[in-house]
Structure 1
Amino acid sequence: MMRFCVLSVVFLVTGSLSAQSPVGNNSRVLEVSPELSVQRVIPNNQGEYELSSGEKYFTSLVVKISGSDSFETSSMAAEGNSYLLEIDEHTDLDGELQSLPVIFDLPGQNAKLRLPNVTEPFSVYYISAGELPSSARTAGELKPLVTTPGSCEEPETIDQSEWRKGLSAPSYSRSYTETEHLIVHHSATSNSLTDYYNVVRNIYIYHTQVNGWSDIGYNYLVAPDGTIFKGRDPADGEQDLVLGAHFCGKNSTTMGVCMMGDYSTTEPKEEAISSLEALLTWKASKDILDVLGSTPHPLNGNLNTIAGHRQGCATQCPGEKVFEKLETIRQDVFANLQACNDPLVVSTVTFYPNPSEGDVLIELPEETELEAVDLITLSGQKQSIGLINEGLNGYRAVTSFLQPGVYVMMFKLKNELPQYKKIILR
């Protein structure tokens, strides 16, 4: 079952390495770069292999096979822990299968691989993320404070200059995109991992040196303890606008956020959801996004503003336990926006009276066209209302049939982003 949030890639490690003639199970480990080595292995009848990186330490392992259609019953064991191998279903390797990286908290030199039903030579990729040039090994020791819920301020994050220390920076010509959709992923890495800096570093090397991408695919990554890491390096641009590589090959108009961990059957921690909501609240406020709405995307004609990876292509990402929370997340982000933008200001539209005991009158600037008006309850439910043309630049919104209460009125003017204003009906 596909669990990692990645797209179709072309494997760029040079073919000359995999073409080396292996010598039994212990063929020579060939260094591709300071962070990546490759070993070619001939299968045996037992399907059990003792892996060794030699003098070099590894922090994650990737397996690529041919002659089989799955990693079923395959596993990796190291440092007393065992991990199942999962297919990275978004790689395109002409009949070969590549596993997702198995990441370890502590560097090692030896591992045991169980790989039954594989009869053709296969490759093992040793990723060496190295140790941070810092005494802190876990995100919790350097964790920033998460922004208080209800704030529209940008939450604290770990910069690339911190988590990428000791690794080469990416060098390529960036592209940028305006945002219409906020795409949520999960990394499908083990939930037992605690060194979140190490997880991000390994994902970075996997994306860039194994998958051959220009940079890490996501704009942001959220650790289980709520720490937010900046992902793809924007160079001189903005972090939330740099074009990523995370949404099924169609990344324009999207920002990608990856929840670190595997949420297929495990509930995400409250701290992680709180940080995700803080990040999405800030972004939605900054770009005036309708977080309860949806707009067309090349992969989905009615894609939610806050959407899961699986809503674009065939993948289990962001895991069932995160995906089923997305509606609550949308409601929470909407409530946050109301709290930090109270009252919501509509600079180009005037309506009165407020509070209202009947219908609401709407005045528009000259030469503007009103496309839609919706009333939204504080629980996020949209209420359709009728509009009566009152003249050249005026309308009456029929609200007298609605129950008394507090609503948010959403105005959509032609060629403009939605605008919001709180209204009280008596």
Structure 2
Amino acid sequence: MPAFALEPEQTAWCARLRTLAAQRLRPLADKGEPGRVNRPLVAELGRLGLISRLFDSGALALCLMRESLAYACTEAETALALQGLGAHPVHAHGTPAQRERWLPRVADGTAIAAFALSEPGAGSDAAALALRADGEEAEDAQGAETRRDAALGGGPVAEADGPRRWRLTGEKCWISNAPEADFYTVFARTTPGAGARGVTAFLVPADRPGLTGTALEMLSPHPLGTLGLDAVPVTADDVLGETDRGFRVAMGTLNLFRPSVGAFAVGMAQAALDATLDHTRRRDAFGGKLMDLQTVAHQVAEMALRTEAARLMVYAAATAYDAAAPDVPRRAAMAKLLATETAQYVVDTAVQLHGARALRRGHLLEHLYREVRAPRIYEGASEVQRGIIAKELYATHAASHTPREAP
């Protein structure tokens, strides 16, 4: 399917989602407490079958869901996305026992998932995370050295060479759904000094001893908090994927969800654009309507242009992911970067054209103005996306071009 066109049934499905969001999800969102997990809202997403779609649909379907929900109810969109972000590593890398225990409860909205990657000193630089996974079973010096060399060299690490039990010690910060989640996908350092190759992903239920958390009051209304891990016990049965291969789990999850963060941004941008079209068409100003002023008309045209360009890039990145294209990291980074920066511009311009009324508490644009800022930071800040894009471009260029020798 071309990235620039949707089938009629997809367009109709998006319209139904917007209606569901307005009629069934918006009322539940309005009853929720900002900064707290809205369990009735998550449960309704489960009853509607939307959470289960996260695991049986592709990236494009995920983007269409997030864009459609964001247009009518950003809280519902975020609740859906956080369930997917926290549970996708279990779906993609979990053992049968892990999947059987948690995924049905995530899908029906009775278990809240969270993705715990960021730390106070390792946000955008995820490979620098410092939360320790201290092995409890002793290794002899030769076994430890073999294990470390294998991790640094990228080779397989034999299970017999490493511990089967660990204690997690450290802090996670800026974790969505913390501290109210029922389980966390926690990324910890199992091999010191190995960078990205020494990280392991663990599935950590919230009731594990030594796991505590604190909610943070943030500008955006979705739940966010810190986690403290004081010798939290985990075993080989809690590992997601392979020991020392957790960075792949993290990046695989982010490559899927980054384009859909862009879809979230596009949904907000479209809502702001439509609100602006309605306002400027009705608002009297200087003997006519606001829309009659050329400077206003040109601003609205620019808002629409950027929104559509971002939408097309998001769809292209999602289509590339579903086709298992080799350039997914670059496309995902481009989609997130362009869409989130575009949404910031469109919402800000919409506020300017609405004037003071848009800053009043409870106005749609006041809400969007608080929501739109965070996506430029989380799941890789805009600066990180530019770094990914440049790295991928140079790698592709080097692989496909033979340097010319100087004459």
Does TM, scored on the shorter chain, surpass 0.5?
A: no
Q: Which has the higher strand share?
A: 1
Greater Rg over alpha carbons, structure: 1
Band of TM-score, shorter chain: under 0.3
TM-score (norm 2): 0.22
TM-score (norm 1): 0.22
Q: Which has the higher helix share?
A: 2
Greater RCO, CA 8 A, separation 6+: 2
